[in-house]
Structure 1
Amino acid sequence: MSTYPIILSQTKFTHRDSVRYPIEERALQFGDGVYEVIRVYNGEYYLLTEHVDRLFRSAEAIKIKLSFTKEEISNQLVELLNRNNIKEDAKVYLQISRGTAPRDHVFPKEVPPNIYAYAQKQPRNLTNLENGVCVTTHKDIRWENCYIKSLNLLPNVLAKQEASEKGCYEAILHKNGLVTECSAANVYLVKDGKIYTHPATNNILYGCVRLRIEQFARDLNIPFIEEPFTIDDISTADELFLSSSTSEIMPIIHVDGEQIRDGKPQIITRQLQKAYEQDARITKNRIKQTM
């Protein structure tokens, strides 16, 4: 994955090779920070406002005081694309930590947050979007504040690594038999023409794409029900799909080796994918929408 040369570090733009962070950076030592991954299509951000809003919510939740406004950081992120002359599909990683200070669990005083952002090329994964993916299931062992997009991702990493070792795209997480989300995505079950997904509680990250899916469903007159489904419900699902900024709306066709229906993406997932492409103004490299 190719990283563009110019990054945002604090309030300045600089070459990625010139940036060095000190060993007492709290993101390194405590995972004391928050982040966002923002999708770019044809050189334009998708859902930038929603991502910046969530960034501020996450920072407030862990008591990081930001020294900039939403408008200021949004303008800098746009400038990041301009400085790198990005005209294609990409993604931007944005991270804010509590700052740099001698190691102590207690928050440091009068220390400014550290911020950086960089962009990478991110072509659409049309093969998976068209054909669907296989996933596995994994016990959800994360903390109880998953609504915060924090840097503490080790349980997510372990779950996704296990899925990868099994040849799967993702891991569906569950607590006491109830499905929460995936290691890096929200997840949805379709049954009898209705979409089911876990309520937006502290137990999941309320995805920006998920917010759009809810709107798409309303526009398509598809009931969108915030109600948890179980691991056992998956075997009788009509459709299953996941969503995130990098995965978009991804059909799931196998879970733990068991095929979902006929093993092909179904009509509601296809309708949502089409609505996503229209909303993101994707005019080339589109999903073929075969059934």
Structure 2
Amino acid sequence: MTWFVNYRLDNSVSVADRGLAYGDGVFETIRVFPQCFLQINDHLSRLFRGLSKLAMPFSSDQKSSLYNFLHSDVLPFINEESVVKIIVSRGEGGRGYLAPESCIHSIIIGILPAPDYQIHREKGVSLSVSPVPVSSNRFLSGIKHLNRLENVIAKQYLSSPDFEAIMVNGNRELVECIQSNIFWCKQGQLYTPSLEQSGVQGTYRKAIIENQSNYIVQVGRFLLGDLMAADEVFITNSLMGVVPVISVTGVSFPIGVHTRKLQILMQAKDMHGVH
């Protein structure tokens, strides 16, 4: 693993960093191949949107510096499929929860081995329903902030053979899975939960909703019963792509034609950038 801290090769940060003390920051994990980041613009847009939501926006110069560093200094380290993780915190300062008037961001970039999800994409996965509810907070919804305790606890409850767990809010409405977004298909129509109050707006979710003219995605408030009535189910994130779901709480689902079609369409879109 290779780490950069504030654009220098380093693997340590200050113990006074607000990211450590309060989770005061955001992060992204980006799939990368030699000479190519996948969905780089969507990832950076979400990163910058999150920083603005937390009232510590990047200036135009800071955005350019990060983008240029990723391409000029990080890409040369990539010689196989990898994951680049970007963490940006508010840095040091302030008193207690009160943030400093002007922050000096801590910018941490890591190069990590890529997980292999090929077998999951081919064979499909099983889901459970997590006992850990998702908090509703429209101020934090959508962004990948550093406070991921709900996901950490939910992961501890996840047990084999389930690959992922569905997380619901206090009203028992579907939100997402622990580390992925969820879709289902009913009579050729795609559905996915609204993330207005909670959850992470995944870059793959965004691409399917906005860029696949083959499908209109119905985004709304749904219960588990809506999902269980589906013809086919799949989950997505930027590292695993589109992964079919073959079982939810022990109820079987087929790997459907629409899931396979989206796998092909999205993979073609990804590989277009690589080649």
Q: Is the 8 A contact 1:252 1:265 kept in 2?
A: yes
Q: Deviations for 1:110-155, whole angstroms, at most 9, x for unmatched residues?
A: 4411111011121541100001111111242324122121000000
| Structure 1 residue matching 2:271: 3-state secondary structure | coil
SS at match of 1:243: strand
The one-letter amino acid of 2:153's match is L
Matched, 1:247 2:237: no
One-letter identity of the residue aligned with 1:267: V
Alignment CA distance shift 1:268-1:41 (3 Å): farther
8 Å CA contact 2:127, 2:164 repeated in 1:
yes
Identity %: 26
Q: Give the superposition deviation at 1:283.
A: 10
Distance (Å, rounded) in 1 between the aligned partners of 2:152 and 2:123 = 25
Structure 2 matches for 1:1-291, cutoff 5 A?
Answer: 3=1, 5=2, 7-10=3-6, 12-14=7-9, 18-67=10-59, 68-84=61-77, 86-101=78-93, 104-138=96-130, 139-144=132-137, 145-163=140-158, 165-175=159-169, 176-218=171-213, 220=214, 222-260=215-253, 264-281=254-271
CA shift for structure 1 position 166:
4.0
Q: State how far apart, in whole Å, the 1-side matches of 2:80 and 2:149 are.
A: 31
Query: 2:31 corresponds to which letter in structure 1?
Result: R
Structure 2 unmatched ranges of 5 or more: none
- Structure 1 residue 177: Cα displacement: 2.8
**Counterpart residue type for residue 8 of structure 1:** F
* 8 A contact 2:134–2:198 mirrored in 1: no
3-state SS of 1:60 partner: helix
Distance 1:83 1:129 in 2: 29
**Number of residue pairs matched?**
269
Q: In 2, distance between residues paired with 1:123 and 1:248?
A: 12
Contact 1:189 / 1:229 at 8 angstroms: preserved in 2? no
Give the whole-Å Cα distance in 1 for the aligned partners of 2:203 and 2:251.
29
Whether contact under 8 Å (1:217, 1:224) holds in the other structure is no
> Structure 2 vs 1, CA of residues 102 and 71 (structure 1 numbering), >3 Å: closer, same or farther?
closer
Please say if residues 93 and 119 of structure 1, whose CA atoms lie closer than 8 Å, have aligned partners that are also in contact: yes
What TM-score does the superposition give when structure 1 sets the normalisation length? 0.85
Shift of the 43–201 alpha-carbon distance from structure 1 to 2, 3 Å rule, reads same
Unaligned runs of 5+ in 1: 285-291
CA distance in 2, matches of 1:80, 1:199: 37
Q: Deviations over 1:12-44 (max 9, x none)?
A: 331xxx432221111111111111111113441
Residues 5 and 12, structure 2, Cα contact 8 Å, conserved in 1: no
Deviates more, 1:133-142 or 1:185-194: 133-142
What is the distance in 2 between the residues matched to 1:36 and 1:283? 19
Residues 161-217 of structure 1: CA deviation (Å, up to 9, x unaligned): 212x24321111112232111122111111010100113413232211112112453
| TM-score in terms of structure 2 length | 0.90
